[in-house]
Structure 1
């Protein structure tokens, strides 16, 4: 039987080994060090912000604390290429033109690219023209408040522009604008003009080709997309004859163009060619069916699909009577003097 002293030594040895090899107990939860994001160095904060969407910066990340707000506001490099695309679902919740102006202001005159959806109006375009003299890329999508006069005035101040997109901007419809662009932006290499839908309206070829003739003055173009445009063979020929550097041409849904042998020969030098009836599977906007003259969709969408009146009926004639819209009243609602004035105005209108 072993002695009690040896037994105590063995137990003591085991206790000693456990004491030397036992892992360190984890620190209590309330002793764990927390990271203070406000104390991150400026270059680290800037690196994080550069990976974020500009809308996210304006609405969230740039409001974290004073140091993050300062980095988002005072770092012009962060705003050199402004991208406010991909937030169409927030159109009615956010002031996109105001956000766009704040982004341009933060660029401190160094903005080289502005891409915006629902962001531009007349005032913003003029502000951008004054604040971004080195702008090289301008993409405007679904900017319903951009009109010919504002775009014409602004575009004159972008002599370095190399890329321009005007997609789903229905109020840019004066053909003279495109000739101005061609002269004011001699370095323009990429132009995209995407319409909402091809509309087979009745007009002469000259009117249908007015936009194309303006585009033909953009002599340095490498890439051109005209979606649902009204141009005809004559307009396309003018573009091909004057834009000798074209490498990519997309005229899908331009159904007034008929690719005859002469046009195919002119297009032979173009490496990427998309024709009117080519697939639109890779098109990045909603593709609408063309509106053909004398079709039901033409009469419905462009004469008044919401009207309860049948064309040619007495009710329709009454609905279209100009007198109905003169102060919103009918003749029998007027006194004798007003009725005489109304009749005189109707005679002038007719």
Structure 2
């Protein structure tokens, strides 16, 4: 008679926990970090209304050291043809500035900026370090002449695709001595002398590290002035500056002085337009001389003889 083997030990059943996490138990710093990623409009219109705990976090001035309202999608969400409501964006921006209680350091605005809003920010954000007013057609030279005096700590300015002129540049340079980064491009060419803006930058902004003036009408003289007047410059975008000839030693100076140099202009479609440096010859001292060659390049094309 065969003895039966002992029953194997029964394995304990695993208990599956299906309860949802309690977001209210997260540390305040972590919750604040998560909410900041939503952007100013989403916080003010939705997130802060979820519960009293989030409402109190969203009232903390340090939540508003950065105000992000500089996206294309946000603007067209409120500026559609059926019900344009840019005033609502302006009011939300003003409310966010008020919540910062003077702690605002960075603000990005796309299209809905105006002289009135710029002055509102200037009166309440003397600690501002970074401002972007991209495509803000309602911001004028007069607006900057009033506001720049109240931004002594500004380090980064983006006023691309607006109607500001050399007047704004000069008042910014005179009143913002800590300026390290300037984006000033896409402006109307009407009434612009070729190098006026370049000479102002060279004269009033010696601390610049980054400069984007693509599509500016400056010539070699203006670019040389910038290189002389801004010795700390590391990044330079001069794509689409078609008056540049790069004569003499200019290309050599750019090559030796600028770590991040943008010369190429991109266009939609299968081709892009570019200016590329091509070595012409090297003299007895070993210094190479370059020409800037204009090309149309098909990015889909691959040279069969190339290693790439």
TM-score with structure 2 setting the length: 0.72
Match of residue 83, structure 1, among 68, 89, 99? 68
Runs of 4+ aligned structure 1 residues displaced above 3 Å come to 20-27, 32-45
Contact 2:211 2:235 in 1 (8 A): yes
Match of residue 223, structure 2, among 224, 236, 257? 236
Contact 1:96 1:118 in 2 (8 A): no
SS in 2 for 1:194: coil
Deviations 1:65-99 (A, max 9, x none): 33322321x21111112211222322415522222
Structure 1 residue 107 corresponds to structure 2 residue 100:
yes
Structure 1 residue 220 corresponds to structure 2 residue 201:
no
Contact 1:179 1:213 in 2 (8 A): no
Relative distance call for 1:270 and 1:39 in structure 2 (3 A) is closer
- The Cα shift of 1:49 comes to 0.9
What residue number does 1:144 align with?
137
What residue number does 2:164 align with?
172
Aligned length: 256
SS in 2 for 1:235: helix
Higher-Rg structure is: 1
- The Cα shift of 1:252 comes to 0.8
Where in structure 2 are the equivalents of 1:150-299 lying within 5 Å? 150-169=143-162, 171-173=163-165, 175-195=166-186, 207-216=193-202, 217-267=204-254, 268-275=256-263, 278-280=264-266
Once residues 45 and 106 of structure 1 are traced to their aligned partners in structure 2, the CA distance between those partners, rounded to angstroms, is: 18
Deviates more, 1:242-251 or 1:33-42: 33-42
Contact 1:163 1:189 in 2 (8 A): yes
Q: Over the residues paired in the alignment, what is the CA RMSD in angstroms?
A: 3.3
Contact 1:195 1:228 in 2 (8 A): yes
Contact 1:182 1:219 in 2 (8 A): no
Once residues 259 and 132 of structure 2 are traced to their aligned partners in structure 1, the CA distance between those partners, rounded to angstroms, is: 24
Runs of 5+ consecutive residues of structure 2 not aligned to the other structure: 1-9, 274-308
Once residues 15 and 153 of structure 2 are traced to their aligned partners in structure 1, the CA distance between those partners, rounded to angstroms, is: 65
Runs of 5+ consecutive residues of structure 1 not aligned to the other structure: 1-19, 289-350
Contact 1:177 1:214 in 2 (8 A): no
Relative distance call for 1:65 and 1:257 in structure 2 (3 A) is same
Deviations 1:21-45 (A, max 9, x none): 9969999xxxx97877668664454
- The answer to which structure has the higher strand fraction is 2
Where in structure 2 are the equivalents of 1:3-42 lying within 5 Å? 42=28
